[in-house]
Amino acid sequence: MKNTKTIGEAIVFLLVLMWVYTFVSKAIDFDTFKRQITGSYLISGTGRMLPYILQAVHAVIVVLLMVKAWRKAGLITSISLLVLYTGYLLYILKFAPSVPCTCIALLRGMTWENQLVVNLIVLPLNIIGLIIFSFNRPPHSTIQTTDH
């Protein structure tokens, strides 16, 4: 059970690092991120608020993952966003007339194919983390009685 908890904590740590990096890298060059998102194929019609919404979601995921009481919600939110990003990547790679910006890439300059591989590695890890924290309950306390 201790190994399972350690694995779960390691997964959460990696997810926190990923989402913090994502948030910070987009915040550092927010104007470029905003311009790329609002000009991206398929999501350009979502309006000017999407870059702000995505950054807020990234920050919320980090907070949820870091607070143990909210960790399960953080893992679910992280999975949800990864599924959306992965679906968007698949759609662009299979159906888009051209591949737009790399604005959703984890690392600057990463190709869409490489980002898809990263997502397909991180997503199962995220699911494993959710399973671990969903079934990891504190032991029940036992009431000790004494016979006199």
Per-residue DSSP letters for 87-110?
Answer: HHHHHHHHH-SS----TT-SSTT-
Q: What is the DSSP letter of 141?
A: P
The per-residue pLDDT for 141 is 45
Distance of CA 87 to the CA centre of its chain: 14
Nearest to 64 by CA among 79, 77, 55, 53: 77
pLDDT at 39: 72
Residue 89 CB-density burial (10 A; 0-12 exposed, 13-18 middle, 19+ buried) = buried
Q: Which of 8-12, 49-53, 104-108 has the highest mean pLDDT?
A: 8-12
Average pLDDT over residues 75-79: 98
**In the numeric block, which tokens belong to residue 89?**
């990547």
Alpha-carbon distance 138 to 136, whole Å? 7
Is the per-residue pLDDT at 43 higher than 80? no
80, two tokens: 């949800």
**pTM given for the model:** 0.83
